[in-house]
């Protein structure tokens, strides 16, 4: 069944005569299944090139509809597609491009309830989504299901590319998204393409590179991008590769969580939440009087090692997997650098674990350094 038909032999002839590629690797592409998350700017070129290359099964996960403003960069679609679901429209176009490649529309939003089941059905996942909750969700689901993830992102004139969770010969896995970005930025801290814009050809550049990595992974014709982030500047045509640090984040990914809460999206929507706070002067009094309370520092390890005030260190990204370390019978003061990250994780804990004894340190360790201990160097 995986043998190429006479028509396919003609269609893929340029692959078949390619040195070190040939019939065997083309048949590997036919046997492969790839899930593409997001059929937008990055997803468009990814899908076009994967289908044209002869990937046997392509899943397309996108619940959004085509808008006129998409057509400046989402080259998979035409004006006639405006208003249509992107996944369905993509299937129609890919079927015309290559009838030997099976495209499947997944019109539902990926969530913690369905992501594992969907991802388990594919060999490789390519994430071209445009928001942090989806990126963390897809990453964690790939780690839990043992799938390799090709990641891309674009903004303005710059793009990023990485390949996560690649199997090593010793049975271990390469870095994952949380090793690169252990915690999400605050809501609205990073603008999206709608706010900041994006050069129309940039997703074509990055999407082609993502498809290239997928083909390399499937066929084994070359070493994939391992433990590195490639940054592409579309104006200078310069590429910079940054080594991804080993943060051992995999050990903390044990289950899927509510990623909109984790990224602070729901808290941003609900301005009526009244979070309890404590000032640095009040915290100092608790310390001086040896009051019975717990102090938790949710900053990253390099921040903690540079300067800390003696709190128990639980990085924000690891909090959902360390709930048992949070005391429930006493006051718990949570702090970060300036109060934003700690506030987000407190609201997440209050909603998901019904904790009512949490207090955010107003102004974070910066306020402590400015008002209590001016010798503390927090950078």
Q: Which residues participate in catalysis according to the annotation? A: 193, 336
User: How many CA within 13 A on the CB side of residue 343?
Assistant: 23
Q: What's 304's DSSP letter?
A: H
Give the distance, in angstroms, between the CA of residue 310 and the centroid of all CA atoms in the same chain.
32
Rounded Cα–Cα distance for residues 94 and 79 (Å): 16
Q: What residues form DSSP beta bridges with 335?
A: 297
Distances in whole angstroms, Cα of residue 90 to Cα of each of 9, 97, 119, 286: 25, 10, 19, 59
Pure H helices in 41-85: 43-53
Name the region of 197 (left: φ>0; alpha: ψ -120 to 50; beta: rest). Answer: left
Task: Assess contact for 87 and 25: CB atoms under 8 A.
Answer: no
Question: Sign of torsion, CA 163 164 165 170?
Answer: positive
Find the helix or strand (DSSP H, E) in which 127 lies. Answer: strand 124-127
Q: For 286, list phi and psi in degrees, rounded to 5.
A: -60, -40
Of 31, 134, 133, 35, the closest CA to residue 87 belongs to 35
Pairing state between β 148-155 and 293-297: unpaired
Alpha-carbon span 249 to 300, nearest angstrom = 12
Is there a contact between 226 and 163 (Cβ–Cβ < 8 Å)?
yes
Q: Which of 330, 299, 303 is nearest to 315 (CA)?
A: 299
What dihedral do alpha carbons 257, 262, 263, 268 form, nearest 10°?
120
The answer for residues whose C-beta is within 8 angstroms of residue 264's C-beta and 6 or more apart is: 184, 186, 187, 344, 347, 348
DSSP reduced 3-state for 85: strand
Cross-sheet strand order for the sheet of 312-313: 277-278, 358-361, 331-335, 293-297, 312-313
């Amino acid at each position: 069944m995986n043998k190429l038909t006479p028509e396919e032999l003609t269609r893929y002839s340029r692959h078949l005569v390619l040195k070190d590629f040939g019939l065997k690797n083309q048949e590997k592409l036919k046997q492969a299944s790839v899930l593409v998350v997001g059929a937008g700017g990055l997803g468009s070129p990814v899908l076009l090139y994967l289908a044209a290359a002869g990937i046997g099964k392509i899943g397309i996960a996108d619940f959004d509809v085509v808008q006129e403003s998409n057509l400046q960069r989402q080259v998979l679609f035409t004006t006639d597609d405006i208003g249509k679901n992107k996944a369905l429209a993509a299937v129609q176009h890919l079927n015309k491009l290559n009838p030997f490649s099976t495209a499947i529309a997944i019109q539902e939003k990926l969530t913690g309830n369905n992501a594992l089941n969907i991802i388990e059905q594919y060999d490789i996942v390519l994430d071209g989504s445009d928001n942090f909750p989806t990126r963390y969700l897809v990453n964690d689901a790939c780690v839990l299901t043992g799938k390799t993830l090709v990641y891309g992102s674009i903004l303005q004139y710059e793009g990023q590319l990485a390949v996560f969770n690649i199997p090593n010969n010793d049975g271990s896995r390469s870095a994952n998204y949380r090793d690169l970005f252990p915690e999400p930025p605050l809501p609205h801290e990073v603008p999206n393409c709608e706010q900041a814009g994006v050069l129309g050809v940039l997703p074509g550049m990055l999407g082609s590179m993502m498809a290239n990595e997928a083909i390399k992974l499937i066929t084994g014709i070359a070493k994939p991008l391992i433990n590195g982030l490639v940054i592409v500047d579309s104006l200078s045509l310069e590429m910079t590769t940054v080594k991804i640090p080993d943060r051992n984040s995999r050990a903390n990914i044990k289950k899927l969580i509510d990623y909109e809460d984790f990224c602070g999206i729901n808290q941003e929507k609900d301005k009526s939440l009244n979070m309890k706070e404590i000032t640095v002067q009040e915290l100092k009094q608790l310390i001086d009087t040896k009051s019975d309370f717990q102090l938790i520092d949710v900053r990253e390890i390099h921040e903690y090692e540079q300067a800390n005030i003696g709190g128990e260190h639980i990085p924000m990204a690891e909090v959902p997997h360390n709930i048992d370390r949070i005391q429930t019978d006493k006051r718990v003061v949570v702090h970060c650098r300036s109060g934003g990250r700690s506030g987000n994780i407190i609201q997440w804990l209050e909603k998901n674990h019904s904790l009512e004894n949490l207090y955010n340190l107003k102004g974070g360790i910066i306020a402590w350094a400015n008002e209590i201990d001016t010798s503390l160097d927090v950078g």
